[in-house]
Structure formats: C-alpha cells, structure tokens
Structure 1
Amino acid sequence: MPRDRAAANGAPAAPAPARPRERRTLTRADWIGTAVEALARDGLRAVAVEPLAERLGATKGSFYWHFRDRNALLQAAVEHWEATVIDESIARLEEIADPIERHNATVELLNGSPKDVKIFLVLLWNADHVVIAPAIERIVRKRMAYSQRLREQAGLTPDQAERSALHAYSVWLGLQLLRQAVPGAVPEDLSGETLSDYVAQLGRQAVGL
C-alpha cells in the first residue's frame, strides 16, 4: 500500500529536506586567536566565555571542551602572544649582524604594530592579575635582556648596557603610556616613523652610537 497520496497518484515523492550544514568544529587555536583579538580590541574584560562564544558562533560547551576556565584561556592567549610577538621577534632581530641596523629594526618593530602595543599596555595595566603578573615580568625581562645584549655587542660594559637599556625602554614605554592615557599629550609629529626615529635617536645617544 502506498505510503502517501503522492505515491498513490503516481507523482514523484517530494525530496527530503536538506540537512543543515554542520558547523565547523572549533579548535583550541580558534579560541586562543579570538581571545587575543578581543584583548587588543577591548582589553582584559573582553576575554570572557560568553562574548567570545557569541563571536565564534559557538556554545559554552565548546569552550569547556578545550579550557578549564577563563583563566586557562587567558593564560594560553597571553603565552601565544608572548611566543609569537616577543620570542620569535627577538630571534629574528638577533640574526641581524650590524648593531646599529639591529637597533633601528628593534625600534621599528616596537612601534610597528599598534595592536601589539595595545596588548602589551593592557597586560601592563593588569599586572596584578594572577595570570598576567608572571607573564608581564617574563616579557619585560626578555626585552630588557635583549636590549642589554645589543648594547654590550656595541661595546658597552655590562653595567653601562644595563643602564642604557633601562633608559631607552623607559622612554619608549613612557611615550606609549602617555599616548594611551592622555590623548594629545604626545605631539602629533611624534607618531609612526617620527616616533620610531625619535626613540632610535635617544637610544643611540644612550648607547654612544
């Protein structure tokens, strides 16, 4: 006996409704990348389960499949940023043989990505956070150690190089903090390449290059 009226009348059966396309399974890297972008865009408060899940079109269950809690994601995101922006950058810079060229490349890199500057400042502003505190200490020490090595290779003694690195990094960091905290405090002509040139000049003077 026919199953439906269309079959009874000899008409072809209606095609079965198409299954909805399955959503791509999110990976741990998807969550980390989205957390880094949120950190740069809206700061620490944006790295939270619900807004990230909404941005990814995912459920909170997907999050908890990869991470124990928010702090676990935050730690993974910060460590990913540290490895790619700090560790890999320092490794590339140290391949440059000429100290002056390497110094200029360092300053250009520090100022070349507003996104990375913003992330670093967000970390600095939240240095009392249980996850961020050890990360910001590692990052600053890595940068300072690299800067000191650069100056020693340029001929300074270890003590001179340490003081010079501290001076140059303090200038750069102070300018960045002023630009973020008090818009307009840093003259407009100290931006982009001009800011890089200015910091590079101060650094070379401190090093004696």
Structure 2
Amino acid sequence: MPQVKVTREEWLFAALAALAASGVSGVAVDPLAKKLGVTRGSFYWHFKDRAALLKEALLLWEEQSTVGFIAGLSDIVDPRTRLEALFYGALTDDTVAGLEPAIVAHAQHPVVGAVLARVTERRLDHLTSLFAEVGLDAAAARRQAVATYAAYLGWIELRRAAPGIVPETAASRESPAAEALAHLLVMLTPRD
C-alpha cells in the first residue's frame, strides 16, 4: 500500500474545515489524520502540537481572507469600484463554508480571539480608509465601516445558519441571491 504524503498546507486547510464544521474542539489530531488518510506521525512532522496547528491555520485564514484579499484589490484605482469589488468578493467568496461564523463564535478562545481582533481591526481600518476616499469625513467613514462590517457578519451568519429560510444570501449570481446582493451593495455604498 503506497504511503500518503500530506503537506503542511493540507493539514492547515483540514484544520480550517474542521473549525468551520465543529468549532475549536473539532481541530483534533486523530480525526484530522483519519480524514487525510495519514497517521499522527504526519502531523508531528509538520507541527509541534494541536495549538500550533490551530494558530497556523488561523494565520493562513488571516493571510488569505484579509491581507491577500485587500492586496488583490489594490490595482483598482477608483475607490467606489474598489469598494464594490470588496463587498462583492467578501459577500460571495466562501472558501471554507461557515468558517468566519465559527471563528466569531469562538472569539473568547485565546488563540482565535487574538487573530480575530487583528483581522477585525485591519478590515475596519481598510473600510474606513475606502469610505474616506469616496468622500466621507473621518467620523462618518468610521461609522459607515462599522455598519458595513456588521452587515457583512450578519450576511455570512445568515448564509450559514438559515440558507433555506434566507436563500437570498446564497453565494451565487442567481436570483434571488443576485438581487439581494445587488440591493445590499447599493445600501452599503455611499452615493454622491
């Protein structure tokens, strides 16, 4: 029987999927090893312990969903177009279904809370800056950023918790999701 090799990144993505599905307690070595088709030895080849896996998985989430996501929009010169692209991407891209609501639900966990606080601060600062670029004064830009981020968190929680009741939140370009998303984008984007 050939030996399966699992990369560090595969372990990290498996940990993120487990976090999304079962919370912090779901990030456990034996079930992840079984799911990946490897032994515990594979885990210890890449990580010191479970805490290291959780921390590195959250750092990967931070890098991809915030740092890299923001950087990916930097080529868009017009701030209003950049805002709309940011909203659309944030509200429709769900690389690991249910991950952000699970992370928010575990905000009191010391490892999760530290990363979540940093991500939230960075996202709010970025939104505030974008709203200032479209012409809002500093205080109004911050208020709009907070309201927008709250709407985002509600949207992804509804998408996770009540997809049958609120199909409009589906990550899709199909109606009624497309119409609801277009309406939300209009509501969140300041107009001249």
Candidates 158, 178, 185, aligned match of 1:200: 185
SS for the counterpart of 2:56 is: helix
User: Equivalents in 2 of 1:71, 1:114: separation in Å?
Assistant: 25
User: Equivalents in 2 of 1:30, 1:184: separation in Å?
Assistant: 31
User: Equivalents in 1 of 2:87, 2:178: separation in Å?
Assistant: 10
Identity %: 32
Show CA shifts across 1:147-184 (max 9, x none): 11111111111111101111122122223334444566
Judged with a 3 Å threshold, the aligned counterparts in structure 2 of structure 1 residues 149 and 65 are, in CA distance, closer, same or farther, namely: same
Judged with a 3 Å threshold, the aligned counterparts in structure 2 of structure 1 residues 56 and 116 are, in CA distance, closer, same or farther, namely: closer
Deviation at 1:140? 0.9
Number of aligned residues: 186
Flag structure 1 segments of 5+ consecutive residues without an equivalent. Answer: 1-19
Alignment of 1:82-161 (within 5 A): 82-116=62-96, 118-161=98-141
Deviates more, 1:23-32 or 1:75-84: 23-32
Deviation at 1:112? 1.5
Please tell me the residue identity of whatever aligns with 1:197. A
- TM-score w.r.t. the length of structure 1 is 0.79
- TM-score w.r.t. the length of structure 2 is 0.85
Deviation at 1:141? 1.0
Deviation at 1:35? 1.5
Deviates more, 1:146-155 or 1:169-178: 169-178
Point out which structure has higher relative CO (alpha carbons under 8 A, 6+ apart).
2
Candidates 132, 157, 165, aligned match of 1:177: 157
Flag structure 2 segments of 5+ consecutive residues without an equivalent. Answer: 171-176
Deviates more, 1:56-65 or 1:144-153: 56-65
Name 2:20's counterpart in structure 1. 40
Deviates more, 1:166-175 or 1:151-160: 166-175
Please tell me the residue identity of whatever aligns with 2:63. A
Q: CA RMSD in A?
A: 2.1
